[in-house]
Structure 1
């Protein structure tokens, strides 16, 4: 049996960062993250462990966020702020000025699915390729290739803008 307090301590930041990367609203991200752990508490006994706890929590959070968007008839708009911390240094090195930051934001926003979500899960939620693959019902190799392709698409888009 998993301990919700331990889950909360270990994964709060990952879930919060993942949702914040999508909505760029700290209050909404906090609210959805809290709701995620509340729902996880109610479903803790049904967690089968087929995916890691982080993947399970991010999936709950994503479902809550999309339900929120549907309920409020809002479109999901991915925003990127130059203060965001990217894990990948080749992309991070592209952020040299506000203009380049805006270009990077546009390049990430222009990614089609699943590239955008895989990129966000890897960079913002810090999920492993194995966890991302599990989340999509695919292999970790698929997640690696999809992430790599998303990075290439971002870099290609930035090259075209030069």
Structure 2
């Protein structure tokens, strides 16, 4: 039990910081930090020492967050916008270069998945999330209705969320 306490004391702050950057939600990050360490204890036999313990824990944290999003998507619409916006401005005082690398890797993965979306999903998603156009404005750009833009955006968001949830990014 002492080993678990030492592990938590040594890495909890780093894991929580990573999750705050990923989720943009302190309360959720605290909850996911606890779940991360629970999952780490359950799977400690799989840690092979090929990477730093902090990297391994942040990978578990990332997958814990994706699992959380997967469960939430069954209850309500997944907020891919939050995934997009979380961590975009990575503070220089993150603390660990390993955490910054994982955050950058995650953001790159999200952007790759966005660019794999077919048209018009990709363009509508980017117009809505990048330059915050209204559905009415998006509809006007495509000579379609506001409702068409709304439905198409929702479909793009759903497709992206499904891709991200099924992803098993490994470093």
State TM-score, norm by structure 2.
Answer: 0.47
Whichever of the two has the greater Rg, that structure is: 2
